[in-house]
Amino acid sequence: MDQLICSRCEAAYGLDEPRWRCDCGSVLDIEFKPSFDVVSTPFRKPTMWRYREAIPIRDDEHIVTFDEGFTSLLEVDFKGRSVLVKQDHVSPTGSFKDRGASVLVSKARELGISEVVEDSSGNAGSALAAYCARAGIGCTIFVPEAARPVKLAQIAAYGGRIKKIAGDRHAVDAAALEAAKAVYYASHCWNPFFLQGTKTFAYEICEQLGWQAPDTVILPAGNGTLLLGSYLGFKDLMRVGITSRIPRLVGVQAARCAPLYRMFTDNLTEIPETGPVDTVADGMAVTQPVRAGQILDAVKSTGGAFLAVEEDEILASQKLMHRKGLYIESTSAVVTAGVEKYLERTAGLETLVTVLTGHGLKTGTPERDTTP
């Protein structure tokens, strides 16, 4: 049966309840049996909605889309090794978050919701604001005071209302949670419909590889929305017998904000405290990922790992990508720096996939990039 299900107490709720967490306070997941039509899919429009039967939105008329997804899987040379890179930085609003926003806002429309709130350092907020604009839904985005002006400008341009909150991301979360008592919480971290969009990332990779799973996928791990979505997507394809395995998932964090990396390497069961965070990876400055347990379980169950990259490695990798003609923002360079680190530690021949998560135009004034 299609339903929302609690990952802690197993309470179940209808898919049409406008709720984003369990009464016990835990995150919810979606129980839904996806199906695929591998014969007709290659002839469909090149968007993530080509996997329509695998996305739990009831009526086509509720779909809110800019024809996002089906991004190219570009072969890029990383120090003599070939890596396949999904170009999600050229998504409609400039980040992979469009995948999640498309399904989440479609669901909001299906529920007849006219107003949503969300908290974000910028990219999820931009994506949500754009899709809400297309759907005619009002949206308010809570952001940290230190959010990049270029990202705030994008949210405001789409008509999103911005509420700046003093303090860290925690304070922003708390303010959004308070607002969510009265208005639908379209949170990319809490709301499980977001992952129903990011999971298409895995479907696309497999289709682009001739319906085969790659060996390893290197992904960002802030709130883990792409990582968890990918895990769901790869699991779906294996369950229905299209692929025969789930790739190793490797999550990358900025060393200055690496709670998941520390939980993995030190075998911790609780999220460790991270001091005041100061990193160029503004989109990944997440100290308390709400789905931390699920992210760890996903990575461990695939035989994967976490990597942490230093600030100088992030900036060097961003510059390297720029010089290859790939204009990415600094948060996205956490992942490419992780790819470089991964390749230094491994020698084998394997199909390795990664992603460019956010467009370089989102970094704002690039003083650091202009040095020759």
Ligand X SMILES: Cc1ncc(COP(=O)(O)O)c(C=O)c1O
Residues that bind ligand X (CB under 6 A): 95, 121, 123-124, 220-227, 283-284, 286, 329, 331-332, 357-358
Please say which residue, 91 or 243, places its beta carbon nearer to ligand X.
91
Query: Minimum Å distance from CB 295 to ligand X?
Result: 8
Residue ranges that bind Zn ion, judged by CB under 5 A: 6, 8-9, 11, 22, 24, 26
Q: Quick check: 222 and 289 in contact, CB under 8 A?
A: yes
Q: Quick check: 218 and 354 in contact, CB under 8 A?
A: yes
Please say which residue, 101 or 110, places its beta carbon nearer to ligand X.
101
Query: Minimum Å distance from CB 10 to ligand X?
Result: 25
| 24 binds, options ligand X, Zn ion, none, Cβ within 5 to 8 A by partner type | Zn ion
Q: The tokens of 206 are what?
A: 């497999």
Burial annotation 123-142 (CB, 10 A radius, 16+ → b, else e): bbbbbbbbbbbbbebbbbbb
Please say which residue, 24 or 157, places its beta carbon nearer to Zn ion.
24
Please say which residue, 9 or 166, places its beta carbon nearer to Zn ion.
9
| 26 binds, options ligand X, Zn ion, none, Cβ within 5 to 8 A by partner type | Zn ion
| 225 binds, options ligand X, Zn ion, none, Cβ within 5 to 8 A by partner type | ligand X
Query: Minimum Å distance from CB 9 to Zn ion?
Result: 3
| 54 binds, options ligand X, Zn ion, none, Cβ within 5 to 8 A by partner type | none
Helical segments of the chain, H only: 97-110, 123-135, 149-157, 169-179, 195-198, 200-208, 225-239, 259-265, 292-301, 311-323, 330-345
Q: Quick check: 251 and 295 in contact, CB under 8 A?
A: yes
Q: The tokens of 317 are what?
A: 């990798």
Q: Quick check: 223 and 189 in contact, CB under 8 A?
A: yes
Query: Minimum Å distance from CB 130 to ligand X?
Result: 14
Please say which residue, 106 or 354, places its beta carbon nearer to ligand X.
354
Q: The tokens of 299 are what?
A: 């990575």
| 48 binds, options ligand X, Zn ion, none, Cβ within 5 to 8 A by partner type | none
Please say which residue, 48 or 243, places its beta carbon nearer to ligand X.
48
Rounded-to-integer distance, Cα 307 and Cα 370, Å: 28
Can you spell out the DSSP letters for 46-101?
SSGGGGGGGS--S-GGG---SS-----EEEEEETTEEEEEE-GGGSTTSBTHHHHH
Query: Minimum Å distance from CB 268 to ligand X?
Result: 19
Q: Quick check: 103 and 368 in contact, CB under 8 A?
A: no
| 123 binds, options ligand X, Zn ion, none, Cβ within 5 to 8 A by partner type | ligand X
Please say which residue, 152 or 226, places its beta carbon nearer to ligand X.
226
Query: Minimum Å distance from CB 101 to ligand X?
Result: 12
Rounded-to-integer distance, Cα 251 and Cα 338, Å: 8
Residue with tokens 């209302």: 161
Query: Minimum Å distance from CB 123 to ligand X?
Result: 3
Query: Minimum Å distance from CB 5 to Zn ion?
Result: 9
| 218 binds, options Zn ion, ligand X, none, Cβ within 5 to 8 A by partner type | none
Rounded-to-integer distance, Cα 95 and Cα 360, Å: 10
Please say which residue, 66 or 211, places its beta carbon nearer to ligand X.
66
| 3-class DSSP assignment, residue 117 | strand
| 243 binds, options ligand X, Zn ion, none, Cβ within 5 to 8 A by partner type | none
